[in-house]
Amino acid sequence: MRIKLSFVFTEQEIAMLSAVFRSDVAIRVSIRIMDTFVKVRKYMANISLLYRLLNAMKIRQINYKTETDDSFEIVFEYISGI
């Protein structure tokens, strides 16, 4: 069986690499990568929140449309009865 090399690292693997590589450049790069992981995690949390808010708005809009349709139906029935 052939082992495939990984092209990505997890946040924990980056932390472990920063402990192994001690040069100033490696430390700065590790810090920037860790900062990027934090930003991506915050971004994903915000996207999740936006999805929930949009979904709630969609449900309210559907309910409002249903109520409005029902109200118009009553008006049209009244008009056609005149």
pLDDT, residue 6, reads: 66
- pTM for the full predicted model: 0.52
- Per-10-residue mean pLDDT for the chain, 82 residues long? 73 77 82 89 90 94 89 87 75
Q: Please give the Cα distance from 46 to 41 (Å, whole number).
A: 9
Contact call for residues 37 and 14 (beta carbons, < 8 A):
yes
Q: Which amino acid is at 65?
A: K
Contact call for residues 12 and 33 (beta carbons, < 8 A):
no
pLDDT, residue 54, reads: 94
* H/E stretch holding 2: none
Two tokens, residue 50: 């936006």
| Residue 38 lies inside a defined structural domain of this protein | yes
Alpha helices in the chain (DSSP H): 11-20, 24-81
| Residue 2 lies inside a defined structural domain of this protein | no
Q: What's the number of domains the chain is made of?
A: 1
The residue segments making up the domain with residue 70 are 11-81
